[in-house]
Each structure stands twice: as C-alpha cells, then as structure tokens.
Amino acid sequence: MSLSLKNRIAVVTGASSGIGAAIARELSASGVKLVLTARRADKLIDLSRELPGEVETVAADIAASETPRRLLERARERFGGINIVVNNAGVLAMGPVDDVDLDAISRMIRINFEAVVRTCYTFAQDFKIQRSGSIINVSSVAAFGTRPTMGVYAGLKAAVETFSNSLRIELGAHGVKVGCIAPGSTQTGMLLDLRSSIGISPDAPPAKAEDVAAAVRFMLEQPDRTNIAGLRIYSACEGN
C-alpha cells in the first residue's frame, strides 16, 4: 500500500522548468505543500498559479551558500516544517580540452554538486532530529558511463550518487530516507546538447519530464520500511 503524500511539505530546487516543474506539478496534485526555488521569479510565479495546492516561491541562486538555509526557514515560516527535499537544480557545461569554458565548468561544479551537498546537510540535520524525512537527489545516467567532452558533468553526477548512498547509510537508522533518481534522455532544455554529445539521434523519442516526476512520487510513496536508494529512467531508444 502506497503512503499518502497529502499535506506533506516539500522543497524542490530548479523548479521553474523541465523536470523540476514536472515534479512540482506531480507533488502538488498529490496534496503536497511546496516551496519552489529557481533563479527566475516570473517562471516560478507562473507555475505556482497553475498548481492546485499551497505553494511558496523563493527566487534564488542555489549555488549561493545561504540559499539552503533560506529555503528551510521559508518552509518553517509558511508551513511549520519540512518533510521532503528534492535536489533537482542542475546545468550542463562541456567541451573539448582545447576549447572548454572553465568558468562555466566551475559554476556547474557549484550547482551540480556543492549545492546538493549543502542542501542535503542543511535539511538532513532537521530530518535527523525529527526522525523522519526524505531526500531525493536528481543525478543522471551519465553517472554510470561517460563520453568524451562530458567527463566533469558525468563525474559530478557520479559524485551525487556516491554521496547520496553514504548519506542513506548514515541516516537510515534515524528514520531518514535518501535516494537518487537518474534520468536518461529526457525532453528538457538540456536535451539537444546532451544528445548530440553522446550520439543519440535528435529524432529518437525521449522520455518526458512527467515520467521522471512520476518516479519521484513513486519513491516518496513507499512505506516507512522501504527506501528506494536509486532509480534509472532511460528512454526506450537509449543504450548505455
């Protein structure tokens, strides 16, 4: 029997578009109260207006060191607590050795890994005290097999997987769940750049952001005795 998500409180990062927006829609339809964050305030507001449930928006840069604490405090102020955090924010920077944008790579490191670590630790401290809570980190199937020019992106996603598993083991005895969901080729803004880099035809049908969002909901609906540590979601056209 699946666990009801009604009236739970979740923070979703990178929520203004793509997978993050799909997760927001899926959780709101399941009765979850949401704190949504991204850099674009206008997109967050537009999304919040279409959702059926209660929503708080926080326009912020997830790479800023103070942002995770702001999100936790906003959840407490608006809803009285927090049950779930979904670390979805991410960017893609890649290129050959002789033409790589190191500033873009450095920012990707801050967003795709450092921000995940900061957010996880900030919320995990509260979850450990209350002896409940769920953390879901969005990684990528690139964590399990890289390609030329995208080694940093793939390495960061592999780091998210390893960090999440370590955190899961540390917090499991305290009633806190931690898991990773690794999308493959998904219909988002990153799709064309990523597909061209790994040799997938642009005409091959990708998975949809809604497919990933449904999988996130599935992970969260598991009973207390179960923690889904990881899911990979490939489109039907993908190999490894």
DSSP 85: E
Q: Write the CA distances from 57 to 13, 41, 43, 50, 72, integer angstroms.
A: 10, 8, 10, 13, 12
In sequence order, which residues have a C-beta less than 8 Å from that of residue 233 and are 6 or more positions away?
A: 141, 181, 182, 183, 184, 186, 207, 211, 212, 215
Q: Are strands 133-138 and 9-13 parallel, antiparallel or unpaired?
A: unpaired
| Half-sphere CA count of 66, side-chain side, radius 13 A | 5
Cβ density class 47-72: b for 16+ within 10 Å, e for less: bbeebebbbbbbebbbbeeebbeebb
Query: Is 234 a known active-site residue?
Result: no
Distance CA 141, CA 208 (A): 15
Q: In terms of DSSP H, where are the helices of 151-208?
A: 151-171, 191-198
8 A C-beta contact, residue 80 and residue 60: no
Coil, strand, or helix at residue 180? strand
Q: Of these residues, 113, 127, 153, 163, which one is catalytic?
A: 153
Distance CA 183, CA 181 (A): 6
Q: Which residues are catalytic?
A: 153
